[in-house]
Amino acid sequence: MPSEIEAVRAALRTVPGIPCAGEAPVFAEPWQAQAFAMALTLQQRGVFSWNEWADELGAQIKAAIAQGDPDDGTTYYRHWLATLERLVARKGIASAETLDRYYHAWDHAADRTPHGQTIELKADDFR
């Protein structure tokens, strides 16, 4: 299994558009780094290849542009996340319904959590 650094380099070589500073990806917000790390981990575990990822991400970006996305780089990781969700559902890791259920549960948890506090997911958030 390649090291994490080798896996990041492979992603940077294969997947176009990853925002970088030198040879390292850069992220504007923590969730972007988390989405990147999730994709990296799934690729390392053989769930998909970087070529498959790049094809899916490219299709996601093209579809977004066709719907009016400004394609100025500000939405890159939103497309990354959408690609991750689509591949996870298609590969049978989690259904689209499960992803949607968790999305709404986290949204509910964030709404009930005071600003500055850690968001904790609870059973009531799934209702």
pLDDT in tens, the chain (127 residues): 667 788 888 887 878 788 888 888 899 999 999 999 999 999 999 999 999 999 999 999 999 999 999 888 889 999 999 999 999 999 999 998 999 999 999 999 999 999 999 999 999 999 8
Domain boundaries, the chain: 4-94, 96-127
Amino acid 35: pLDDT: 94
Q: How far is CA 22 from CA 18, 26, 42, in A?
A: 11, 9, 24
Query: Which pLDDT score, from 0 to 100, does residue 2 have?
Result: 67
The token duo for 124 is 């009531």
Structure tokens that stand for 28 in this block:
């504007």
Which secondary-structure segment (H or E) carries 21? strand 20-21
CA distance 74 to 99: 24
What pLDDT, on a 0 to 100 scale, did the predictor assign at position 73? Answer: 85
Tell me, what amino acid is at 89? Answer: A
Looking at residue 1, its pLDDT comes to 62
Residue 80 · residue 86 · CB < 8 Å: no
Distance CA 2, CA 10 (A): 10
What integer pLDDT is reported at residue 38 of this predicted model? 94
